[in-house]
Structure 1
Amino acid sequence: MTDSVRDGQRDPVDDWRRLAGTAVLLDGFHALKHALRFGAEVPVAVAVDRDAALALADELAPDVREALRALLTEVPQASYAALVPRPHPTGVAALAVRPSREAGLARLRRLPRTAPVVVLDQPRNLGNAGAVIRLAAGFGATGVVTTGTLDPWHPTVVRGGAGLHFSTAVERLDVAELPPGPVFALDPEGEDIRGVRLPDDALLAFGSERSGLSPELRARADHLLSLPMRPQVSSYNLATSVAMTLYHWSLAGARPRA
């Protein structure tokens, strides 16, 4: 028995099963690390090898080492594997309380903004959505909004975002419910983005991987922009398009928020 399992301590597996229906799965060490850095409430966290996880924290995340030491409970491999859909190489998983929708919407709607909101219009690929949230976190975007049926808090999206959902506002909305601000939508027929300065209060909208912008989003757009692309190349990956657009915005002098 390790020092993480003491007499009288609650069984983390029981806690996990009680919370799993409503909590956010943090799949792997890095997702847990990022969630803790940005203030997530984490009621239960497990590791197959607690000492190895803490050693990883010593190496990569000493700022959250003490929080991890207090949270992590060691469980057998079989117990861990039964809790997660796909075991992570680090053997670490946790459940976090999802931020309130009201707080997320208030953050998205607050003006003035110091950074754009990224809008994914009817995205289809869960991994791409997660990669976009990770990019938005890195650039300090105000938030990421999805339209359509994809759940931006799906476990696969959270895994792709490496737990960085907790660093920014992430919500699903209809086009009619988008936050205020001018909509700059990416479209192959739009104006070359290199000649446009993107304001901090912009909504940067990107169509789905297959169909592009929906008619509803296109009608809502104030500006259509295109990314530079060599002739006969059909498209960029969604996350690549978002990265290029956020980088272009950042060239105007914006800096990622501390």
Structure 2
Amino acid sequence: MAIYRRLDPERLPHHVAIIMDGNGRWAGKRSLKRFLGHQQGAESVQYVVETASRIGLPWLTLYAFSLENNLRRPKSEVNFLMRLLKMYLNNNVRRMNDNNVRIQYIGRTDDLPDEVRERMQWAAEATQRNTGTVLTLALNYGARSELMDAFRGLCAEVQSGQLKLNDVTEQDIQRHLYTAHMPDPDLLIRTSGEMRISNYLLWQIAYTEIYVTSRLWPDFRGIHMLEAIEDYQRRERRYGGLADGTESDDVASLPANQLVG
């Protein structure tokens, strides 16, 4: 594949996050029911996951089911999405194992139906020994809710005396996030052309490069992720000022404790 040969393997992003948008519009353009758009979108997930595995991408996080949409969608659509999630896991765990992919989840997953959580746990356990790409599905997720949960955890530590209020640091907030065990995304991809973040990983994307494509998610394939990565590699990443007050265009080699907002 020509685009893959153009990529610098030494400068691949460590973590790519994707807002998968456009399933409903894809179906509407074809005079199909929205359910079919979601179904086609699930196929795109597997194409992208397998491409991530082939190029050795360590972390891939997909915004699969937002907390807000859970409240706004018709119940029939939510029920279909839950069935689709179970079907995706049932049908793709073997392929994940073949591609050395490990699956995990972030979000308020305890609020999902019991039978869905059972399948999620089964898939996580079935892939837990894999050492390649970590696929994270954001399910029943909202970034503001994540921050609320993190602050509640911090408040509990302060109230119990484990932590003093004036000693709270960014690292203390970070360790209470759903993503505490994960690196922040280097690249955020949004499909469907919408120019907004949609309450996704608000804390984590402070210095993330953003790539927007007008392509709807059901038409998105691995090659399109490679195009986003190629665009990412042409950029000079900027992380704000350094501790000594100077500016840096490339701070990938600097210790994290030298970076400030």
Q: Tell me which interval the TM-score lies in, with the shorter structure as reference length.
A: under 0.3
What is the TM-score with the length of structure 2 in the denominator? 0.26
Q: What is the TM-score normalised by the length of structure 1?
A: 0.26
Larger radius of gyration: 1
Name the one with the larger strand percent: 1
Q: Work out which structure has the larger RCO, using CA pairs closer than 8 Å and 6 or more positions apart in sequence.
A: 2
